[in-house]
Amino acid sequence: MAELEELVAGLDLELRRGTLVLCVLSRLTTPQYGYSLVQELSEKGIAIDISTLYPLLRRLERQGICAAEWETSGAKPRKYYQLTEQGRQVYQELKEHWQNIATSISALLEEKS
């Protein structure tokens, strides 16, 4: 039984891993800092490890998908991330791809083989 759970947990992790980027992109249409992202995502049922999110944000920044800026006027300095123009296009396209995938997979899962 424990073995089955472990198997499912591993595959589940694999399944979620690729979708995290899309989830993060969907939140970056407005400026967000790391911790606010974690909170917002987890409120909406998407659990993401902080040690996964930060490297992901840095990678997106490096790829020019989002831009980051330090906001120092508040009580605490915070690094805010937001989609760039290119990032917006990427997000739009990925969103369409996701919707197609979701439709196809749902059809597969509902169909009796």
User: Counting contacts by CB under 8 A, is residue 95 touching another protein?
Assistant: no
Q: Quickly list H helices, the chain.
A: 2-17, 20-27, 34-43, 50-62, 85-110
Residue placing its CB nearer to another protein in the complex, 79 or 88:
79
Nearest to 34 by CA among 50, 10, 16: 50
Question: Residues touching another protein: how many (CB under 8 A)?
Answer: 17
Residue placing its CB nearer to another protein in the complex, 52 or 84:
52
**Paired residues of 82 in beta bridges:** 67
User: Counting contacts by CB under 8 A, is residue 31 touching another protein?
Assistant: no
| Interface positions with another protein (CB under 8 A) | 33-35, 39, 49-52, 54-55, 58-59, 70, 76-79
